[in-house]
């Protein structure tokens, strides 16, 4: 009996180490690969500043697809299982967990309103950057925000971190706060910009909770995709009729 318990413990430890290493690898690649994006231009001695905008956008799309493909391949075995599970149980998943997304959305909206009052009408730096890029290339923003971001961010900030931190509370907090922080920290111009970590983290925490309960990344990924799709579509309409 003791030998059996020891064997089970060893197997659990081995599985944890394997999954944690995959999670660490995905996190590292998520941060390292974007820093290598200019290598192509360096190799061919091209001046990025002089290149046409369309060329730079096409290059960014191709590079984003490469990053997405690599991270998907890291988790491909579990993704196949979760995809089959999603096909069977998608109605139950969304029936049971859509309400949590709505709660997170309400918290996000209310906190944005409060922060906007504090900042006297200012908007998050991340949102401002998206709006500026939207005017240049709305199709690229749609790809990056509605396809690339929901898939990669859920795999990195949810699935990878859960592999590393299996503890429920710690995972949810780390996942949500890291997700919120990285949407804000690169665009800080005033002290109140830090407050935007709250609305971004609210949905990150909700998505982390949903993943922990369902053990299926496609549930949070689907909600994330839907959320971004609605927001970008509204911005697209505002651009057309504004």
What confidence score (pLDDT) does residue 227 get?
95
Cα distances (Å, whole numbers) of residue 163 to 51, 59, 79, 218, 219:
41, 32, 13, 16, 17
Higher pLDDT, 241 or 141: 141
User: Does 138 or 127 have the greater pLDDT score?
Assistant: 138
In this structure, are residues 82 and 218 in contact, taking their beta carbons and an 8 Å threshold?
yes
CB count, 10 Å around CB of 139?
Answer: 11
DSSP the chain: -HHHHHHHHHHHHHHHHHHHHHHHHHHHHHHHGGGGTTHHHHHTT--GGGS-HHHHHHHHHHHHHHHHHHHHHHTHHHHHHHHHHHHHHHHHHHHHHHHHHHHHHHHHHHHHHHHHHHTTS---HHHHHHHHHHHH-HHHHHIIIIIIHHHHHIIIIIIIHHHH---HHHHHHHHHHHHHHHTTGGG--SGGGGGGHHHHHHHHHHHHHHHHHH--HHHHHHHHHHHHHHHHHHHHHHHHH-
pLDDT at 175: 97
pLDDT over threshold 90, residue 198: yes
Q: Which residue has the higher pLDDT, 225 or 185?
A: 225
* pLDDT value at residue 49: 75
Does residue 114 carry a pLDDT above 70? yes
């Amino acid at each position: 009996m003791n030998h059996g318990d020891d064997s089970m413990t060893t197997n659990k430890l081995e599985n944890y180490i394997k999954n944690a290493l995959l999670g660490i690898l995905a996190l590292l690649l998520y941060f390292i690969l974007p820093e290598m994006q200019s290598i192509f231009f360096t190799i061919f001695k091209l001046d990025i500043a002089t290149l046409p905008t369309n060329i730079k956008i096409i290059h960014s799309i191709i590079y984003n697809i490469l990053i997405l493909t690599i991270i998907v391949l890291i988790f491909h075995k579990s993704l196949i299982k979760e995809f089959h599970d999603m096909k069977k149980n998608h109605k139950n998943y969304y029936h049971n967990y859509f309400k949590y997304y709505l709660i997170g959305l309400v918290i996000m909206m209310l906190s944005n309103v409060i922060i906007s009052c504090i900042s006297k009408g200012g908007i998050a730096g991340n949102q401002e950057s998206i709006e500026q890029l939207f005017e240049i290339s709305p199709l690229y923003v749609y790809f990056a925000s509605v396809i690339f971001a929901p898939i990669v961010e859920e795999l990195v900030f949810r699935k990878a971190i859960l592999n590393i931190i299996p503890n429920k509370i710690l995972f949810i907090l780390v996942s949500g706060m890291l997700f919120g922080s990285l949407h804000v920290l690169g665009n800080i111009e005033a002290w109140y910009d830090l407050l935007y970590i709250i609305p971004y983290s609210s949905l990150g925490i909700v998505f982390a909770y949903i993943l922990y309960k369902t053990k299926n990344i496609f549930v949070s990924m689907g909600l994330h995709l839907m959320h971004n799709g609605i927001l970008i579509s509204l911005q697209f309409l505002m651009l057309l009729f504004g």
